[in-house]
Amino acid sequence: MSKKIVFCGGGNMAEGIMRGLLQNGVNHPEDITVNELVPNRCEYLTKTYGVTATRDAEALIKEAHMVIIAVNPPQVPTVAKMLKPLISKKTIIMSIAAGVTISSVENIAGSDKKVVRVMPNTLNQSGDGYSAASFNENCTEQDQALVDEVLNALGQVMHIREEMFNTFTAFSNVGPMWLYKMTEALIDAGVYIGFSRTDARNIAIKNMAGVAGVLEITGEHPAVKVDQMTSPGGTTIEGLRVLQEEGFSTAIMKSVIASFEKVNAFE
């Protein structure tokens, strides 16, 4: 990509994006600057990734193709105000601060600026999982392609309407929790019926990964695959019967809805 990127904030999320960019060869260390106020954090990022981490990056911000706001939400107004005189109309401002709207950034940095709101993929260690992105009207197709290139280094990217961000947070960002708990329950069940915890873990994880792969490759509905597994009077239909009796699907749906209602309550 060879585009200059400046991170305003060098916390864990910024580090995750940076790591993905470097590991996937999207950027080189000399393309990345981190504006970070904590000296120890600057030293760590410089030594670990070879990037430029400094408390004063104003000169480099002026040259950047993209500036990523990676601070806590209460700090965004201060950062946006600092950016306003430093960046041109060509610079892309990407905010990954939770709950911060495009309009709130525009109101401070300027309505003529290119602003992108992003919810980064929380499963970036695996290279799977979606980031969400919403663009203001100043962003061109080329700008969107550049943002996609950055976010694809973390997994996959989905363009959504900004009003869908709470829904995305409740369903996608919380989503791994349901699968972690499902895997945990399967491991415990495997131990209960006689497997070692290591073997139970290996089986559960491979089954989980295998199911995801099959659904992605075939494009079939999960119900079709379950139907194919349930022979008359067999062990699979017996296990399915108990899941239905215990309200498994209803519990999952109620949990998703509860997360959705909670994230909306924060506004």
The answer to whether the annotation marks 132 as part of a ligand binding site is no
Residues 75, 66: Cα–Cα separation, whole Å: 19
Residues 7, 94: Cα–Cα separation, whole Å: 9
The answer to whether the annotation marks 73 as part of a ligand binding site is yes
The answer to whether the annotation marks 121 as part of a ligand binding site is no
Report whether 117 contacts 90 (CB < 8 A): no
The string of DSSP codes covering 117-162 is EEE--TTTTTT-SEEEEEE-TT--HHHHHHHHHHHHTTSEEEE--G
Report whether 96 contacts 75 (CB < 8 A): no
List phi, psi (to 5°) of 86.
-95, -25
Residue given tokens 């709101």 in the structure block: 117
- Residue of 10, 72, 20, 13 lying closest to 41 (CA atoms): 10
Residue 181: what residue type? Answer: K
Residues 130, 169: Cα–Cα separation, whole Å: 11
The answer to whether the annotation marks 70 as part of a ligand binding site is yes
Which residues contribute to the annotated binding site?
70-73
Which residues contribute to the annotated binding site for NADP(+)?
70-73
